Copies of this chain bind each other. A is one copy, B any other.
Amino acid sequence: MKAAAKAHTNIALIKYWGKRDEPLILPMNSSLSLTLDGFYTATSVDFRNDLSTDHFYLNEQFVTGAEKNRVTAFLDRIRAAAGKPDAFAEIHSTNHVPTAAGFASSASGFAALAAAAAKAIGLSADEQQLSILTRQGSGSACRSVYGGFVEWEKGTLSDGSDSYAVPVASANYWDIRVAAVILSSAEKKILSREGMRRTVDTSAYYPAWVDSIPNDLAAIKEGIAAKDIEKVGEIAEANCLRMHATTLAANPPFSYWQSTTVSIMQTVQDLRATGVPAFFTIDAGPNVKVLYTPEHEEKVRNMLQNITGVHDVKVSKPGEGVSYI
């Protein structure tokens, strides 16, 4: 009744932005991501007869409150699927992801938790079923089941059975880099869940966002197939800006950007003006991720580290999907 799994986080190049069903976490639009080797969560789940509730430890700390409740609610789905409603677990999770501020530690966290819990409780689930399970813990986590480039097909069914990730290209397919640029003071005022909801409900630009996704997806998959960094980067950057623009047209409007976010975007564009194919993308927070090819490693890293307000730069390569440990 014990199992452990490891999962990497992922960065969306075509953003997941908006739910059509909140409880099942079904998205309004399909998305596409790259799993990153640098950031991961390792989680063990031990279903024990002597427990009458779940015990959750994150980075060796016993966790209570909303964070624990989210884990228990997710395990309730696993218990229900396995037909074992009274099986409670001790969970130990170690996050190798800077928490909060746009780094989806929930992506690696729920992918690892789903894999370990399903195995521990004896629920047989292939990768597609695991992706569907994981999605119900955290939407973008369903993409972390696979390594490399991954598409999350939004699906159309109301039960969510056709809303899961599919692999596009494996981790060793293309040697590119993602620099995670972490701000010194990166407090995230509006959570992505709340930001999505307000945008879907009120943004004058949200319908056009949804309509714009199929073209982006088709084009970026062409770019990935051709290993064309310019094409992939330009589409990812434009998609990111189009996502953030939806928040500016919400009611009331809001933005995840800080002044340093804009400095980083401009530095990346300045880099491009010198012939370096570097492109940015930004999730629902102020931090920035920069996509580039490995031969420009030194120049990109130096430029990013020297920006006022940047705390750290962490470089990742494409990472593998979920594995059991």
A residues touching B (Cβ–Cβ < 8 Å)?
A: 204-205, 207-209, 211-212, 234, 237-238, 241-242, 244-246, 248-249, 251-253, 255, 257-263, 265-266
Contact = CB atoms under 8 A, between A and B. Distances in A.
A253 to B, nearest CB: 4
- Copies of chain A in the complex: 2
A66 to B, nearest CB: 25
A211 B209 CA distance: 16
A199 to B, nearest CB: 11
A127 B253 CA distance: 37
Given A205-B249, A245-B248, 18 more contacts: A204-B211, A205-B205, A205-B242, A205-B245, A207-B208, A234-B252, A238-B253, A241-B249, A245-B245, A245-B249, A255-B262, A255-B265, A257-B262, A258-B262, A259-B261, A259-B262, A259-B263, A261-B262
A253 B266 contact: no
B238 A208 contact: no
Nearest to A242: B249
Given A204-B211, A205-B245, A251 B238 contact: yes
Given A204-B212, A262-B259, A262-B261, A248 B242 contact: yes
Point out which of A204, A238, A249, A253 has the most chain B C-beta atoms below 10 A from its C-beta. Answer: A249
A251 B242 CA distance: 10
A241 to B, nearest CB: 4
A211 to B, nearest CB: 7
Top-3 shortest CB links A-B: A245-B245, A245-B248, A259-B259
A207 B258 CA distance: 28
Contacts of A259: 259-263, 266
Contacts of A251: 238
Contact of A237 (B205, B237, B253): B253
A204 B252 contact: no
Contacts of A244: 248
A299 to B, nearest CB: 21
Contacts of A208: 204-205, 207-208, 249
A266 B187 CA distance: 13
A277 to B, nearest CB: 15
Given A204-B208, A212-B204, A238 B252 contact: yes
Contacts of A234: 252
9 contacts: A204-B205, A204-B209, A208-B208, A241-B248, A241-B255, A242-B253, A245-B249, A255-B262, A259-B260
